[in-house]
Amino acid sequence: MRIFSKVLILIFTFSFASYAQEGNPVYAKNGMVVSASTLASQVGLEILKRGGNAIDAAVATGFALAVTYPAAGNIGGGGFMVIHLADGKNTTLDFREMAPIKAHKNMFLDSLGNFLPDLSQKSWLGAGVPGTVAGLVYALEEYGTMDLEEVIQPAIDLSKNGFHLDYRLANSINSENEVFKNIEASKKIFTRDGEKLKIGELLVQKDLARTLEIIRDEGSDGFYEDEMAKKIVEESDKNGGIFTIEDFENYKVVERDPIIGNYRGYEIVSMPPPSSGGICLSEALNALEHFTFKREEWGSSRYIHTLTEILKQVYADRAEHMGDADYYNVPTNYLISKEYGEVIKNKIGETARPATEFHPAEIPRFKEKEETTHFSVVDKFGNAVSTTYTLNGSYGNKIVVDGLGFLLNNEMDDFSAKPGAPNMFGLMGSEANSIQPMKRMLSSMTPTIVLKEGKPLLVVGSPGGSTIITSVLQVIINVLDFKMNVYEAINAPHIHHQLFPDQIDYEPFGLSEDVKQNLISLGQKIGIERYLGRVEAIYIDQNKNCFFGTSDPRGFGKAVGF
């Protein structure tokens, strides 16, 4: 098995440059993996080829991304997994990070009550208890068919033997050089004695390999108990953090019932709180269902105006009502009801409502960071997996745990450290998402599976912080309403509105000048041009029994199948 993995690494290393993003969906008959890393996608595909199911392949891909996509792939973060099984069962796994036991509501405020973002974003205090290892191992044990040793070994070999840095990854790592070189443990891995890495250089991560080997041999206990947990707590104590052994011993994956909506006869299976994604997606689709748009109206001012007014209400509800449902009574059933969708529809007029009518608090613009990553997997047996996981900011808080080789998240920033104050993505929150010990922070992650007559039709998700929800929503609309293929649906320009700032952001070539002027005449405000989301999706053609996958051309990932 290990010889097999090493041979794969050589293949990956020497053929990496030959992989280019296709201008059409990738076709496959037996299985498919789509992720933000070509190497990780190939790891997952090899598991499928060896008879593994979609869950086996997803776990292998998740561990591989921790090696090959360090900006967001991780074992020091957390996330969400939506699973559809061939027997018809739908379920979700919540392995979101958790606030430490010593966390408290005012931990990121100064003596005058001012929010201190550096503490929540750039320090050990900003790290939540990681959930990824527990989540991936749980998924494998409950729904996989292979042993952990088999699915994690490719990630071990990639970290131990190394892989050559392509242009994109070298530039990504080097963009954080000023930070990495001032953190000794990070400097050892992501710089060469403080200097920037070179394109084509071999990136070897020996400490990470040893950590993955412990997980291979001991399972999740190897991460959450014994010497590794003690080492994390020791480093936390040295650097002003508040982790305790109890934080790791008490961490549990939570298997939750999914949010299931119905849109024009399709079932939409998505993530419940502490993800806001499923509720927001279902709420938006319930309102949109009251409108009909011809194919030729895609991108029109009428379509964008309608979508924008719906999104304003969705993000207002997100800010006011959403948080960890184990700690706060989220009105889920009402928010995702058809009745509430009609309420939203009835409020949409021919002119724009200002954001302050939805929520009285105005907040400043924050620059969106490229964080989080998504991967989608399907197999020939009828199983499908949609997984989004993250470190929050790009490379998390940039701190590698000394001797263990993995980066820490800065997910504590996703709490409402001060109600009304924005996080790094410009999102605001209320008491529903306030900091409490052992609570899980609200997320925008929206891993989703669309079913037609009970069988998977579309497996989709995206990174992008506050833009995740709008990116996933528009791809689903593009496929179901505008009948685009999965490549066209992803590649089509997106728009984004998150209530505050009160403006429509858009992608290059996304809004023509006359559409902008029409929107302005309706009272909408035009924002900035920027790229929105990086969707990884698979479309299942149920009639032809085959798969079509696309890795977003905005990124550098790969759809692979056989």
Catalytic residue numbers read 372
Q: How far is CA 345 from CA 284, 290, 350, in A?
A: 10, 7, 12
Q: Where are the beta strands (DSSP E) in 197-325?
A: 202-203, 254-256, 259-263, 266-270
- Cα(236)–Cα(185) distance, integer angstroms: 13
- Cα(443)–Cα(441) distance, integer angstroms: 6
* DSSP alpha helix (H) spans, 269-353: 277-288, 301-321, 332-335, 338-347
Residue 440: strand pairing partners? 98
SS3 state at 205: coil
**Sign of torsion, CA 25 512 280 118?**
positive
- Cα(131)–Cα(341) distance, integer angstroms: 34
And the tokens for 348? 């949409």
Q: Is 24 left (phi over 0), alpha (psi -120 to 50) or beta?
A: beta
| 8 A C-beta contact, residue 204 and residue 160 | yes
* Enclosing H/E stretch for 496: strand 495-496
- Cα(280)–Cα(331) distance, integer angstroms: 12
- Chain centroid to CA 95: 12
Kindly list the strands in the beta sheet with 504-506, ordered across the sheet, starting from the edge strand earlier in the chain. Answer: 495-496, 504-506, 526-529
| 8 A C-beta contact, residue 236 and residue 422 | no
And the tokens for 259? 């949010």
As a 3-state breakdown, the chain gives helix, strand, coil percent values, each rounded to 5, of 40, 20, 40
- Cα(354)–Cα(478) distance, integer angstroms: 27
- Chain centroid to CA 30: 26
Closest CA relative to residue 425, chosen from 345, 371, 480: 371
Q: How far is CA 192 from CA 157, 165, 514, in A?
A: 21, 13, 51
